[in-house]
Amino acid sequence: MTLTNFGSHALVTLALLTATATTDDASSSDLTEACHVQKYLIAMDRHLENLENSLQNKPEELAQRARRYRIAASASGDAQTACLLQAIAADADTESATTQKAYDGALRKVREGRNFLKTLIRTAAETAALEKVSYKMPADNGKSIDTNKLAIRLEVKAISTIDCVKEEDDGGYKVEAKALKPLTIAKIKTADGGSLNAAIAKPAIQLTTGGGCTNADQNWKAYDTAAANCGGDAATAHRPALHEDPTSNGKRPKISEISIYVGDDPAGGCRPADQITGVTDNSMKQKFAALCQALKTAKPSQSGTKLEGKALSQKPIIQQVIQGCLPEYMNKEKLNTEETETLRKFLEAAYTDSEANFAKKFEHLVDKQKVQVYKDGKVQSVEIGSITTPAEEHDALSRISANKRAEKLASRKETATPDQKESGDKTEEKKDGDNKTSEHTTASNSFVIKTSPLLLAVLLL
């Protein structure tokens, strides 16, 4: 039973990013541009961001259970009942600590993966921006440099990478109108930062000649070679225009595929770092292995021990605490097998045979019982279940302890017999006399010695 909920938007986003892929979803073959890769990596990071946020909100249910039963045990007037309640508090504390440790471990994995993922996103964003560079021929595209030289210029068109980061209204992402679910794609796609120059379109200008060009094979070569035998019309006849060359502008930056899953199955486990393919550098393999661990991290589930006899009686921590506070067991260094089974049967019966019967037996002691606590700026009597902070818990426990000491002292005074009181009075008188005889003032140095008779005898020797 998971006891901590995601926010509604995070749940929707998580479902969109991790749902099983369908034929209408983007596949690895659809991610052909750096812009696609950037959006794919951002979608992956969104999943990890939602997971990181949820892991920071650690559940308090087991800690609260421990708090309630600890206060109830302290407030109980029956030693055996207090022992039973304290054991449940100890069990809840143990499980809470285990859950907190699991959350911390999961959070470390996610953060390590995200740190590396941000590097991949930056590289993809740089490549995608260069990939979007294109040119146009402006109206004022020519300039006479001198009497025999002309210059022709191009301008870069407006660059927009908004589509590379665009999030859909439903919180998901799309590539070419196909839903993007990054956790269902078999291999990690990255934009190769070493091929940034390939991402930029190569500008070219087209000139019109008088004909006769003999090297019209559409391959790039030295200008003089390409222009050999071309007719030499007037410069105004060249009519310069933008030339979009498919052999250069059609090139794309390298998109790499990294195998991080066993069998390239996203539903499977993670490959060991030394078995990751697509990169050769060992440090990069370690980073991709960490990214895989982050992607495979799930929010730890939290469920307390079922509150009924069969489940509680089998918990070692329950048996340990009970052994320490029940008179018939507390002085035993270790229980033998028979004694352990006897204790287990006792616990199974004491905690009842069902959650419903457990509630009938203990709920009024744990949730409904009222204790004094400083809360909301004043001391008041509240139900134990409404005490929700460590400060309130310790305040309530200290007040319960103080009240018990006061009641015990009052009880002793009320039950004392006349003879006991007279004996007590004489004892007090004797103590006063002893104190007086322990004070000596010497004529020579006039100092006072207040000490025990034994030490006084030693000093006077």
264 Cβ contact list (under 8 Å, min separation 6): 186, 187
Q: How far apart are CA 346 and CA 339, in angstroms?
A: 10
* Domain-terminating residue out of 398, 414, 445: 398
Residue 409 has pLDDT above 60, yes or no: yes
- The verdict on residue 408 lying in a domain is no
- The verdict on residue 403 lying in a domain is no
Q: Look at the block and give the residue holding tokens 């140095």.
A: 445
pLDDT top residue among 143 and 54: 54
* Domain-terminating residue out of 288, 304, 320: 304
Residues 365 and 333 in one domain: yes
Distances (CA, A) of 397 to 98, 184, 306: 25, 52, 26
Q: Within 13 Å and on the Cβ side, how many CA atoms surround 154? A: 18
The model's pLDDT over 148-207, given as tens digits with 9 standing for 90+, comes to: 667 788 899 898 999 999 999 888 999 989 999 999 999 999 998 666 676 677 788 887
Q: For residue 383, what pLDDT is reported?
A: 95
Comparing CA positions, the residue from 19, 18, 36 lying closest to residue 177 is 36
Which pLDDT band holds residue 290 (cuts at 50, 70, 90)? very high
pTM above 0.75, yes or no: no
Residues 366 and 342 in one domain: yes
Residues 189 and 85 in one domain: no
Residues 41 and 189 in one domain: yes
Residues 299 and 383 in one domain: no
CB 256 within 8 A of CB 190: yes
The model's pLDDT over 187-204, given as tens digits with 9 standing for 90+, comes to: 999 998 666 676 677 788
Residues 108 and 1 in one domain: yes
Over residues 301-307, the mean pLDDT reads 90
Q: For residue 169, what pLDDT is reported?
A: 86
Q: For residue 144, what pLDDT is reported?
A: 77
How many structural domains are present in the chain?
2
- The verdict on residue 310 lying in a domain is yes
Residues 165 and 30 in one domain: yes
Residues 39 and 171 in one domain: yes
pLDDT top residue among 237 and 424: 237
| Lookup: tokens for 27 | 């596949």
- The verdict on residue 74 lying in a domain is yes
Residues 166 and 311 in one domain: no
* Domain-terminating residue out of 347, 371, 398: 398
Residues 123 and 179 in one domain: yes
- The verdict on residue 351 lying in a domain is yes
C-alpha angle 429-434-436 in degrees, rounded to nearest 5: 95
- The verdict on residue 446 lying in a domain is no
Residues 117 and 196 in one domain: yes
- The verdict on residue 111 lying in a domain is yes
Residues 57 and 180 in one domain: yes
- The H or E element that residue 345 is part of is helix 337-350
The model's pLDDT over 108-139, given as tens digits with 9 standing for 90+, comes to: 999 999 999 999 999 999 999 888 888 888 88
The model's pLDDT over 316-328, given as tens digits with 9 standing for 90+, comes to: 999 999 999 988 8
- The verdict on residue 409 lying in a domain is no
Comparing CA positions, the residue from 90, 100, 93, 289 lying closest to residue 188 is 289
Q: What rounded mean pLDDT belongs to the chain?
A: 83
Domain that holds residue 41: 1-62+97-134+155-200+252-304
Residue 54 has pLDDT above 50, yes or no: yes
